[in-house]
A and B are shown apart, each in its own frame.
Chain A
């Protein structure tokens, strides 16, 4: 049986279960890639935006959104992908930043402009030291860089300031 969603808030509540497949501690809302939820009768339109142009997780996120809504019998769903305005790490929530740090990924710093700038050492998510260095600008996913802590010697990922 198809049950119509009552409100946008109800749809958002269901979508708060949808996480980034690469960083499963973050919901798509935490990450700032959930742009909009609209309701027209029983038709739901969910608007998302990619972090990086080639982010391979987008197809999976789209499928996960459809699956989460279908569990509630909501199948009249359109997932729309928009590029503009371009995602930046400033779209991430503070809650999302805290979750990242706890997960072992140094969260992005708030940047003054759209262009990547060097902002000094990051805080090691393992031991809290500021004595850290970048090993590579490119890491396991397009949105991360690889760092190392000089104090505890642990390598760690950093969600790039972008």
Chain B
């Protein structure tokens, strides 16, 4: 696989796995409107993933026939949903990253990435708005919602560092104007997250623990269960349609 294909697949895997996670909220949202909202987010991410995976190879084979070590998403997107507070905390951290990511990639010298990013940035802006407003309502809400939002945030926080890692694949593509420079994405991410957490009266977690490995196919225990659910139909009934 070329560095560009590797990079494109990473971005696609992030979107697909998060989209799959969010779809688990179907019929379980706190209100009907929220059920619909989470599935809208999921659908946007799935659409972005399809464009990216389709640029690398056969989208169905990539989605349904890869085993765990071949997936290159960050760990953050595969974490289990937990309660609504944890889901929204994860969404805040990922959307606050995706908005500057897609903004930067809209100017990529790779036309496919630029095209996908130009659409995705507008959708990610909606996702970020949604996550921000919920984190403020939960954090600055009742005693119970505050405690649970903080617990959710504490649980997902260590995984955010992986978003900003750069290996030789990223570095070489940044030099060619193809990839977004992770070090440039960090400042706007921090500014957004810190502003929202302050408004939400939530504490910025302090931890030195920064789990990583997703880009190299080393995943968390939760990921195997996600893949089993996502892939079993296709694997049991290859080529099934309805």
Secondary structure at the A interface, as helix, strand, loop or mixed, is loop
- Rounded to whole angstroms, the CA-CA distance of A162 and B125 in the bound complex is 11
Taking a contact as CB atoms closer than 8 A, the residue among A50, A84, A114 that contacts B47 in the complex is: A50
When each residue 79-95 of chain A gets 1 if its CB lies under 8 Å from chain B and 0 otherwise, what string results? 00011111100000000
Taking a contact as CB atoms closer than 8 A, the residue among A54, A56, A140, A162 that contacts B122 in the complex is: A162
- Counting CB contacts under 8 A, is A55 at the interface? yes
Q: Are A138 and B33 interface neighbours, CB within 8 A?
A: yes
Instruction: Tell me which residues across on chain A come within 8 A of B51, comparing CB atoms.
Output: 53, 83
Interface residues of B in 100-155 (CB under 8 A from A): 111, 114-116, 118-123, 125-126, 129-130
Interface size on A, residues (CB 8 A): 24
Interface residues of A in 106-150 (CB under 8 A from B): 114-116, 135-140, 142, 146
Instruction: Tell me which residues across on chain A come within 8 A of B200, comparing CB atoms.
Output: none
- Rounded to whole angstroms, the CA-CA distance of A82 and B118 in the bound complex is 12
Q: Are A115 and B47 interface neighbours, CB within 8 A?
A: no
- Rounded to whole angstroms, the CA-CA distance of A53 and B19 in the bound complex is 12
Q: Are B119 and A53 interface neighbours, CB within 8 A?
A: yes
Q: Are A136 and B33 interface neighbours, CB within 8 A?
A: yes
Secondary structure at the B interface, as helix, strand, loop or mixed, is helix
- Counting CB contacts under 8 A, is B174 at the interface? no
Interface residues of B in 19-69 (CB under 8 A from A): 33, 36-37, 40-41, 43-48, 50-51
Q: Are B37 and A53 interface neighbours, CB within 8 A?
A: no
Q: Are A139 and B43 interface neighbours, CB within 8 A?
A: no
* Chain A proximity of B115: nearest CB distance (Å): 4
- Counting CB contacts under 8 A, is A103 at the interface? no
Taking a contact as CB atoms closer than 8 A, the residue among B37, B119, B122 that contacts A115 in the complex is: B122
Instruction: Tell me which residues across on chain A come within 8 A of B121, comparing CB atoms.
Output: 114
Q: Are A138 and B47 interface neighbours, CB within 8 A?
A: no
Instruction: Tell me which residues across on chain A come within 8 A of B48, comparing CB atoms.
Output: 53-54
With A137-B129, A138-B40, A139-B36: A84-B122 Cβ-Cβ less than 8 Å: no
Q: Smallest CB-CB separation from B121: which chain A residue? A: A114
Using a CB–CB distance below 8 Å, which chain B residues touch chain A?
Answer: 33, 36-37, 40-41, 43-48, 50-51, 111, 114-116, 118-123, 125-126, 129-130
Using a CB–CB distance below 8 Å, which chain A residues touch chain B?
Answer: 50, 52-56, 82-87, 114-116, 135-140, 142, 146, 162
